Chain A
Amino acid sequence: MSSTEKTETQVVAEIGADYKYGFHETEDYFFKSGRGLSREIVEAISEHKNEPDWMRKFRLKSLDYFMARPLPTWGGDMSGIDFDNIFYYIRPTEKQATSWEDLPPDIKNTWDRLGIPEAERKFLAGVGAQYESEVVYHKLQEDLEQKGVIFLDMDSGLREHEELVKQYFGTIIPQNDNKFAALNSAVWSGGSFIYVPPGVSIEMPLQAYFRINAENMGQFERTLIIVDEDAYVHYVEGCTAPIYSSDSLHSAVVEIIVKPRGRCRYTTIQNWSTNVYNLVTKRAVAYEDATMEWVDGNLGSKLTMKYPAIWLMGERAHGEVLSIAFAGAGQHQDAGGKCVHVAPNTTSVITSKSISKNGGRAGYRGLLEVGNGAHGAKSKVVCDALILDEESRSDTYPYIRIDENDVDIGHEATVSKIGEEQLFYLMSRGLSEAEASAMIVSGFVEPITKELPLEYAVEMNRLIQLQMEGSVG
């Protein structure tokens, strides 16, 4: 332990002010699994959580799938992930705290630095926050409860609404969907469970904050959102993590069901430190006249592979994916989106903006699929890349499969560089080169930031500015 702490202390000291969230608290965990993955670990997690037998079996079967599947050979380089050197489960406190005062001081301190109390004051909706593997603080505003809205961490959701969870869990993303979905299915912990009853519209965004705070810790949260008929919810997750010397793995699964005429928007700002592998599976199904929107900002991590998907199952369902990827030195953002048109007259828009600098690699990988019978389907894919220097790279992999004649499909792609003339124009007004570049980049991603809640838009622009400040001499 002491040697680990020494390493951490050294690393944190070296970080200095470079990384805004590069602080960490001393560890004080109630339960921490040993490193590595085995049936015993999975059994122990399930037993520790007092789960029903079906979930225990689900986990064990998922583990088999995970073990059986090879690492993907496409996307990014995953060879650096050391699966035997990861803590698959850490529970920070003995039981879930229900109010701010009950939280342990070191966790409160971390959250204070992330500005959570402020966020809570600003937003009247509930704040769910994930610290390590378990949601320890969760508060739901009374009016939401009165409307019958369920907003819980996933573990509590399973305990308190087992039948509802059992009905949907793993139905959108099967446990064998891919290696990392299988891993999540085996060792998941925390995440959010949301149910919005028919006709209920939640005006304020529901928020959750995620944070990794232990070296070599995997974070495997699991989120399930069910938006019933004519209901609406906007869910926001923001992620920040401190920097550690060895690699961390974040592998989440998010499943969303939007029933007829319902609407769901899911917003993510991901700013993991640059040693985190961020391999996430997100998928939604939208039924008749329903709308699903993914707004996905990826700034941090070493490698992100994430392609939020929408299956348009009912007639006239609409899907939108807005994706930003920003890759700096040593980073690879392989991001994008998928829309699958199953029903007739469905519509979708995928907008992707990627920025790469200092040798970073950012790209778009997306799938647009129109099944036989989905006549009248309309889709538009726009991917724009901005490359800030000669060392950086942008890739575009737009996969399109159309099995229907009566469709209207558009695809546009642009690649640009920051022009000397544009920079000179802004600098001639007194902006430094870094400020001018940041302004051009902020403008480039504006179509997406304008969709964010104000607080996140400000944070996003600040993060871009911080990224840019280091990029020019």
Chain B
Amino acid sequence: MALLEIKNLHVALEEGTEIVKGVDLAIDAGEVHAVMGPNGSGKSTLAYALMGHPAYEITDGEVLFDGDNLVELGADERAQRGLFLAFQYPHAVPGVTVTNFLRSAINSVRKARAGKEDPIPIPEFRKDLLGKMEELNVTRELASRYINDGFSGGERKKMEMLQLAMLKPRMAVLDETDTGLDIDALKVVGNAVNTLVGPEMGALVITHFPRVLQYIKPNFVHVFYDGKIVAEGGPELADTLEADGYKAFIPDLAEAAA
């Protein structure tokens, strides 16, 4: 059984509109899966629903993580088990420094895992943080700023990667992480993800543009449209998309173009 197994997942908005209409996916540690689709296909809803956003209701299906169904769990419990979502639009929390936030998050996860308070020793935290910031090419000054408050788009995305690197989840969902990044930043982010993917972590990369997949090499590519996976294949599928766009896989788009 794969680390993350999504079975027949249906997701609806609170008012009832169904957005995700039966998705099956199995992702193991060490694997990178890309979910690619045009705007409005429901990709971000899939990401939010996996993480447990209260505005998205899972109406049918299962999300199995290490064999346990996550569907009834809150976002905090999913994170404590090792699921991570890199946000497309990360939120600002004024007054809370990056350092303070990261340490609190790490300690919450450690507490949940140990069943008691088990705070990370400060020297260990500090060493890890400074090392990760250097790898990600993040200026030290950012650590004492308030999370995402006044950050540029690129800084926000790097901050998501810093959180990913510091929290060391077992499965990372990256929602449109490439948007707003220039090529240099994209390389840094790609390297960070590639370094983390291995026996300890798998990744689901959700994206609109195939470009990011030059930097994060997927093992599997799934084409997503209207809440469903409409085509699947290896990394070569991304190349086809790069060359021909989505219309080859999406009958409606092909008709509209014709």
Contacts and interface: CB of A to CB of B under 8 A. Distances in A.
A443 B95 CA distance: 4
Given A430-B80, A430-B108, A421 B75 contact: no
B76 A431 contact: yes
Contacts of B101: 426, 429, 439
User: Which among B76, B84, B109 has the greatest number of chain A C-beta atoms within 10 A?
Assistant: B76
B96 interface: yes
B87 A425 contact: yes
A442 B101 CA distance: 11
Interface in B128-181: 146, 163, 167
Nearest to B148: A425
Contacts of B105: 426, 429-431
Interface stretch (B3-11, B48-56, B63-71, B241-249): B48-56
Contacts of B52: 427-428
B109 A430 contact: yes
Interface residues of A, number: 24
B214 interface: no
A376 to B, nearest CB: 32
Interface centre among A422, A425, A428 (most CB of B within 10 A): A428
A446 B90 CA distance: 21
A427 B96 contact: no
A433 interface: yes
Interface in B51-101: 51-55, 74-76, 78-80, 84-85, 87, 90-91, 93-96, 101
Contacts of A436: 76
Interface in B170-223: none
Contacts, number: 78
Interface string B105-125: 110110010000000000000
Contacts of A432: 76, 108
Contact of B112 (A422, A424, A425, A430): A430
A445 interface: yes
A427 B75 contact: yes
A149 to B, nearest CB: 35
Contact of A442 (B54, B84, B95, B167): B95
Most buried by A among B84, B94, B104: B104
Interface string A391-426: 000000000000000000000000000011110111
A439 B79 contact: no
Interface residues of B, number: 30
Nearest to B173: A428
A420 B96 contact: no
Contacts of A422: 91, 93
A57 to B, nearest CB: 51
Contacts of B75: 424, 427-428
Contact of B108 (A425, A431, A445): A431
Contacts of B80: 430
A430 B167 contact: yes
A272 B96 CA distance: 27
B81 to A, nearest CB: 9
Nearest to A421: B91
Nearest to A440: B93
Contact of A444 (B53, B94, B106, B163): B94
Contacts of B146: 443, 446
Contacts of B112: 430
Contacts of A440: 93, 96
Contacts of A435: 104, 108
Given A446-B96, A447-B95, A429 B167 contact: yes
A433 B108 CA distance: 11
A431 B104 contact: yes
A439 B93 contact: yes
Nearest to B85: A428
B163 A429 contact: yes
B211 to A, nearest CB: 26
B79 A428 contact: yes
Contacts of B90: 425
A427 B74 contact: yes
Nearest to A432: B76
A407 to B, nearest CB: 30
A420 B108 contact: no
A68 to B, nearest CB: 46
Contact of B76 (A419, A420, A427): A427
A436 B104 CA distance: 10
Given A424-B54, A430-B109, A430-B112, A443 B167 contact: no
B96 to A, nearest CB: 4
Given A428-B85, A430-B80, A420 B54 contact: yes
Given A422-B91, A433-B76, A428 B167 contact: no
A426 B163 contact: no
Nearest to A426: B93
B114 to A, nearest CB: 13
Interface string A432-465: 1101100110111111000000000000000000
B91 A425 contact: yes
A443 B109 contact: no
Contacts of A420: 54-55
Contact of B74 (A429, A433, A446): A433
Contacts of A447: 95
B196 to A, nearest CB: 16
Contacts of A445: 95
Contacts of A428: 51-52, 75-76, 78-79, 84-85, 87
17 contacts: A419-B91, A420-B54, A420-B55, A421-B91, A422-B93, A426-B93, A428-B52, A429-B79, A429-B108, A430-B76, A430-B106, A430-B167, A433-B76, A435-B104, A442-B96, A443-B96, A446-B146
Interface of B: 51-55, 74-76, 78-80, 84-85, 87, 90-91, 93-96, 101, 104-106, 108-109, 112, 146, 163, 167
Given A431-B76, A433-B76, 9 more contacts: A422-B93, A428-B51, A430-B108, A432-B108, A435-B104, A439-B93, A440-B96, A443-B95, A446-B94
Shortest Cβ-Cβ A-B pairs, 3 listed: A443-B95, A446-B95, A429-B105
